[in-house]
Amino acid sequence: MSIRNTPCALLLALLLTGCASSSARVLQRASEISHFAAGYTPTPGDDMAGPLAELTTRLEAWGVRVEDLPETPGRPMVGLASLEYRVVQIQRGLSVNARFEVLAHEAGHLLQPPGLQDRAVAQLFAELVGVGIGKFYGAKHCEEIAAIYLASFKYVFGAEPHLRRDITYAIEAMTGQRALPRWNQGSH
Ligand SMILES: [Zn+2]
């Protein structure tokens, strides 16, 4: 390694450490929260308007429609992602910051490994991708929001190390640090 490369290598090491400890912090915090206190409380405010627009534009450029979720009485949902139909739907009426949180989570679902069948593990994957996207864009409460949400899925936390590389890939792709995969990749 030459001297010239050292600052980059150090920065990379710091970034990688930051990512790993963020997930570890979220899972540790979630472990301390009862399943019965778990859930999602949308963050009010609109300071994530820029990142929301950027993430929406990136998804649309990739061929994904971002639209309102149709009303589903009796089935409370804030977001839905379909890889098959290339669409993300978000509950209408949410704050800008909550729309960003939901979109970041749903973006994670769009890049979850195709063979991932377990619903709880899929939520773990999507939420940790969402946290990574939130951290990248400076969302202030993303770790706490994720910990409270993931408290329902503690029994699958053991899957996190196996998913770590794919989570990192998804975060990088959804934040413009690497190209998004082509649609036919991995979908066999
Ligand atoms: Zn989900």
CB 104 within 8 A of CB 133: yes
What is the average pLDDT score of the chain? 89
Distance 142 CA to ligand 1 centre (A): 15
Phi, psi of 5 (to 5 degrees): -85, -15
Distance 146 CA to ligand 1 centre (A): 11
Q: What is the pLDDT of residues 86-119, one digit of tens each?
A: 999 999 999 999 999 999 999 999 999 989 999 9
Distance 17 CA to ligand 1 centre (A): 25
Angle CA 72–74–77, to nearest 5 = 55
The three-class DSSP label of residue 85 is: coil
Angstrom distance (rounded) from CA 58 to CA 68: 17
Distance 122 CA to ligand 1 centre (A): 7
**pLDDT score of 45:** 96
Residues in the chain: 188
pTM: 0.86
In terms of Cα–Cα distance, which of 86, 123, 126, 136 is closest to 105?
126
- Alpha-carbon 16 to chain mean position: 17
- For residue 174, give the amino acid letter: M
User: Average pLDDT for consecutive 10-residue bins of the chain (188 residues)?
Assistant: 52 53 94 96 95 98 96 83 94 96 98 94 98 96 96 97 97 97 64
